[in-house]
Amino acid sequence: MAYLKFNTRLSSLGKLDRKFLLGFQKEFQKILWNAIGINALCFFDETNPKAVEIYKIPKGVYNFKKRKYCTFPLFTFSRDALLKAIKRADSDTLVKVLVITDAPLYKRNVDGPIFSDIECGNDIAIVSTSGMKGYPRGPKSIRQRLLKESLYLVGRMIGLPNCMNEGCAMKHAKNIDDIDKKNKAYCNDCLNRLYGGKI
C-alpha cells in the first residue's frame, strides 16, 4: 500500500445495540492488526473511543415491494462520515468507511439476498446483520459472521480482489455457509498482493 496508515471509520444505521457495536469494534480492531498491521485503526469516533454513532435510516430508502433498503442512497447518506474522517486524518492516512446495519439490503439491478455492498469509488462499504441470524456465541454467531464479512469488505476497499483460496477472508461468500468456512485473516497470496507492490 502506498499509504503509511489506514483508518476504518465505523458508522451504524438502524437499531443495532451500542454494546454489540463496541464489542464488534474491539474485536475487529484486533483482527485488522493481525491481518494488516499495527497502523490499521478502526473506530466510531477517533476523539472518543467510547462514542458510537448510530443513525436512523433516512426516509425514502425503503422499497415496499422488496421489503428491503436500497444500498445506493445509504452510500450517499454516509458520505458525510467519510468526509469528516478524511478531514481529521493525517495526509499519509488512507481512510475508508464501514457502515453496519441490521436492515435487510438490496442492490440496484441485483436479485436475491446480499449481506453487503461497496460503493463504486471503493470508499464506503455497508454490511448488514440481517440474514446472519445464528447461534448466540461461537463461530456461527452473528458477531463472527459480521467480522468475517467486514474483513472481506475492508480488503475490497483497499484493493484486494476476490480470492479463490479456501479459508481466505477474501473469498466471496454467497451465503452463510460460505462465510462460516472463512478465516478471520487474509491468505498469503492476498498479503503478497497487499505488500508486494501489486496494489
DSSP 3-state of 164: coil
Residue of 118, 125, 170, 179 interacting with Zn ion (CB under 5 A)? 170
Closest CA to 43 of 80, 93, 7: 7
From the list 44-52, 64-72, 111-119, 179-187, the region that binds Zn ion by CB under 5 A is 179-187
- For residue 51, give the amino acid letter: A
Nearer Cβ to Zn ion (22/191):
191
Q: How far is the CB of 157 from Zn ion (least distance, A)?
A: 15
From the list 18-26, 50-58, 156-164, 173-181, the region that binds Zn ion by CB under 5 A is 156-164
Interaction between residue 89 and Zn ion (CB under 5 A)? no
Nearer Cβ to Zn ion (35/95):
35
Q: Distance between CA atoms of 123 and 117, rounded to whole angstroms?
A: 11
Q: Which residues 6+ apart lie within 8 Å of 179 measured at CB?
A: 115, 132, 145, 148, 149, 173
Instruction: Tell me the β-bridge partners of 124.
Output: 97
Nearer Cβ to Zn ion (23/159):
159
Compute the Cα dihedral for 177, 169, 131, 60 and give only its sign.
negative
Nearer Cβ to Zn ion (81/154):
154
**Which residues in this chain contact Zn ion in the complex, by CB under 5 A?**
163, 165, 168, 170, 187, 189-190
